[in-house]
Chains A and B, each alone.
Chain A
Amino acid sequence: EAQVTQNPRYLITVTGKKLTVTCSQNMNHEYMSWYRQDPGLGLRQIYYSMNVEVTDKGDVPEGYKVSRKEKRNFPLILESPSPNQTSLYFCASSLLGRGSFEEQYFGPGTRLTVT
């Protein structure tokens, strides 16, 4: 089954404790992206990757890191989480079509709480 998986689905942690949220897709998509969803703000892009070893900042990259060492995986790293990073996080992937992307496929989300 074609899908994007994220782990963990729920995480409660404390300020400053490094964490990683994993994301994996089995569709051989070039493009992968991380978003955070907050009430009243919709989806905001954190980082994206056009292909292996190619990553770039989205709209809200501060406090986050990513890596793309393999095509299927795109982990999100919070080196020193803070309470303002409490949010719902989504990973997504997409094929690069002819001059434009096809639709994105989303993971189920990771609910992160930083106390």
Chain B
Amino acid sequence: GNSVTQMEGPVTLSEEAFLTINCTYTATGYPSLFWYVQYPGEGLQLLLKATKADDKGSNKGFEATYRKETTSFHLEKGSVQVSDSAVYFCALSEVEGRTGNQFYFGTGTSLTVIP
């Protein structure tokens, strides 16, 4: 079945450090891939997405490339800020038979950026 695996946290970085959060997936077809961010006390909000192989999603300095050959969608940012401290979730959606699309989420990676 479908699943998403992302690197476990917590991750602590100094301001301006480079960030990578690994995400790999298992899917039977051609899923769409997402990164969501959850700031403290809030719901999840979409950070970026990619809908087909080799697509690159980007937003707020974050990037992720949909790699079908390695079934990966790693999140990267060149220079993190304190305001990037949050929990990051990798997710996929895929059509599944008569019941239609389903969403699958990773367990989340907590990021803390220190000044």
A positions within 8 Å CB-CB of B: 4, 31, 33, 35, 40-43, 45, 48, 50, 56, 90, 92, 94, 96, 99-101, 103-109
Contact = CB atoms under 8 A, between A and B. Distances in A.
Given A50-B99, A100-B93, 5 more contacts: A90-B43, A100-B94, A101-B32, A106-B44, A108-B42
Given A42-B89, A99-B95, A109 B43 contact: yes
Chief secondary structure at chain B's binding surface = strand
Interface residues of B, number: 25
B39 to A, nearest CB: 11
A41 B107 contact: yes
A50 B89 contact: no
A33 B106 CA distance: 16
Nearest to A30: B100
Chief secondary structure at chain A's binding surface = strand
A94 B44 CA distance: 13
A40 B109 CA distance: 10
B73 interface: no
B34 interface: yes
B14 interface: no
The 9 nearest A-B residue pairs measured at CB:
A42-B107, A106-B43, A43-B105, A101-B101, A103-B46, A106-B44, A101-B93, A100-B32, A42-B108
B77 interface: no
B45 interface: yes
A100 B49 contact: no
6 contacts: A42-B105, A50-B99, A90-B44, A99-B95, A104-B44, A104-B46
B103 A104 contact: yes
A103 B49 contact: yes
